[in-house]
Structure 1
């Protein structure tokens, strides 16, 4: 089998991973709606599936640290995720579908935290180089979002299972081609106990702000395509709206290294979270105006790309090198798993089959606003645990 050099292999892995999400995240709500489920059922399924991301990353991170073989963990996760994904091809009812997607999500969580650790390790913690490689993930995402919009227009929501399967297989192939990296654990650096790490007020302020931000994204991830459809936009136009957001994300990721080097961590986070609150208010009250909705999508550059780059830099600098795998797992589990599950459940209740769309995005804006307040409480300098 052909072995790629480290940067092309990492770029391909990000491209394939986020390509899968480009199908799953925007169109999953439409897929479930097409199977006949209401918004409360969709919200509950999203919440339960997302909740598997609370436990999964911690388990996989612990295994990766103990085995010192994150590549094997990622490959096993990708393989079982493919097998679990096949449940989406069969319409056997609500609970079998939930079980299949929960299994998929649990093993899916084995991949990204370890991929992030391997990437930073291979790049010697160069945030600028990381951002450029991470850009390939955004490219994969936007290609599948745009393709998904066109496929939905012609084939309906059942296009999702087969299309995502192709990129799941590509991801597995890219992980098989990923070169081995040196052992990620350190024998010379003292490992701090998690009691020491988690006694830090700074860590809890940061995690609280990030949790609220992720909660605020739940109606966008779970219901935006349904919202757009209800407002009269076609599947292709909806794909274009999401594409604008991801294009802004790509540009922001490319320049993230320079931006992080120029501005204070606390200032950047506060701006990102504040712009996110503004974005959800625009979506709540002005989404019926195509130009305004399209312009609001540009705020994704700060809402996601710069905010995510700040989070990765925080973890790389706060956690000792030997414990960054668990740090990434903790972040993925608590923030993406916990925040996503809470947000999805609340959004499912608040959405009320579309009649509560505006109030749901207002709640999202409030969550992002509180996240900005917590970000402003962080110290002026980037914190370090050791």
Structure 2
């Protein structure tokens, strides 16, 4: 068994072609996961419309995966830690999500579509948090770099947006779920290529006590608030830019600049975490959100929008990376899956709340609704400072 685990980790398998290095396999796994995501986010509403689903029902259909994720994410995190086989859990969830997408592809009736969407989300959405847990454990063991692997998820998301749009023009809206399924099958293969991690010893958490737990919770909430500050951006930035007269090409470039910025941060983010610590990165992300969204509230020209989009490196990537690192430092290895999925669960709740609020705010205020986004980012920065003050600084605590 030990020889098999070593062979999987090194990629050397007697009598078989060697596997790529672990870092490359992890990068490929993130890329494969985000291929399907990069099709689903922009194009699934078109598929629903092609199935004859009306606007109000589309809103319901898109809400179902979010609700399903809130139910399954923490439960699957606990289950993964109880089983002690994170690679096997990733494979099982990838296969289940692929089955859900296959069922979705042949669904016609609205109820069947809702059931397929819910089943897919139950398995698919928590997979990213469990993959983050798996990768952070490999990183803490010195076998991989989380940021370097995660950047390829962002790259694949962008490629899927662009290539998916081109294929959609050729194949029609009915091809959307089939493209999602193709990406998911690639993710299934990628998870099979990962090595299984040994069951960790049950040890006390690196930080313990009521103050430390409160500090961890404050840090997670801080990162989740900065992430939630993007809700208005995701929902209405394209609408607003188009109203300002920017072409779809220019708008696409603006979004691509943001993705490129987050890739750059992920690429070198580990050095930043080591240098400044996760709390400082979250605070930087919150301050960047204040600057970014305060400026966007006043419809800045294109020459200003470009550097504002570059701030996505801090408002999104830095806070996400810092949250994963904060949980990894604060939670025992045998509870890594529980910790990462709990953080994702808190983030989902705050993002969902911000999404609900963004519509009425935009209807009432227009672009000035971005000032509310700036306020949420500011609260996130202040929460990060509070979390840093609550962090224990005793030897070995990670402080």
User: What's the secondary structure of 2:349's corresponding residue?
Assistant: helix
2 CA distance for matches of 1:103 and 1:250? 31
Q: 2:196 maps to what in 1?
A: 180
Instruction: Find out whether 1:377 has 2:386 as its counterpart.
Output: yes
In the alignment, is the contact (CA less than 8 A) between 1:43 and 1:344 conserved in 2?
no
2 CA distance for matches of 1:235 and 1:87? 33
> Number of matched residues?
378
2 CA distance for matches of 1:215 and 1:332? 12
Give the drift of 1:14.
Answer: 0.7
Q: 1:161 maps to what in 2?
A: 177
Deviations 1:306-335 (A, max 9, x none): 111211111111112221121011111221
2 CA distance for matches of 1:28 and 1:283? 28
2 CA distance for matches of 1:113 and 1:16? 15
2 CA distance for matches of 1:147 and 1:317? 38
Deviations 1:167-203 (A, max 9, x none): 11111111122222222x314x246999x67972212
In the alignment, is the contact (CA less than 8 A) between 1:16 and 1:140 conserved in 2?
yes
Give the drift of 1:113.
Answer: 2.2
- Does the C-alpha gap of structure 1 residues 360 and 204 become closer, same or farther in structure 2, counting only changes over 3 Å? same
Higher normalized contact order (CA 8 Å, seq sep 6+, divided by chain length)? 1
- Does the C-alpha gap of structure 1 residues 343 and 373 become closer, same or farther in structure 2, counting only changes over 3 Å? same
Decide which moves more: 247-256 or 53-62: 53-62
In the alignment, is the contact (CA less than 8 A) between 1:285 and 1:358 conserved in 2?
yes
- Of residues 58, 61, 68 in structure 2, which corresponds to 1:52? 68
Instruction: Find out whether 1:207 has 2:201 as its counterpart.
Output: no
In the alignment, is the contact (CA less than 8 A) between 1:248 and 1:300 conserved in 2?
yes
2 CA distance for matches of 1:12 and 1:332? 22
- Of residues 318, 322, 341 in structure 1, which corresponds to 2:352? 341
Instruction: Find out whether 1:20 has 2:20 as its counterpart.
Output: no
Instruction: Find out whether 1:263 has 2:272 as its counterpart.
Output: no
Deviations 1:91-129 (A, max 9, x none): 846554444322222111342222222222223355982
In the alignment, is the contact (CA less than 8 A) between 2:150 and 2:266 conserved in 1?
yes
In the alignment, is the contact (CA less than 8 A) between 2:226 and 2:285 conserved in 1?
no
1 CA distance for matches of 2:29 and 2:185? 11
2 CA distance for matches of 1:107 and 1:327? 18
Max Rg structure: 2
Unaligned 5+ runs, structure 1: none
In the alignment, is the contact (CA less than 8 A) between 1:16 and 1:170 conserved in 2?
yes
Q: 2:372 maps to what in 1?
A: 363
Deviations 1:42-88 (A, max 9, x none): 65544442232222221111211121111222122112212222465
Deviations 1:116-157 (A, max 9, x none): 222222233559822112222222122223324545667776
1 CA distance for matches of 2:70 and 2:358? 19
TM-score (norm 2): 0.81
- Does the C-alpha gap of structure 1 residues 360 and 94 become closer, same or farther in structure 2, counting only changes over 3 Å? farther
1 CA distance for matches of 2:130 and 2:167? 32
1 CA distance for matches of 2:217 and 2:138? 28
Provide the alpha-carbon RMSD of the alignment.
3.4
Unaligned 5+ runs, structure 2: 1-15
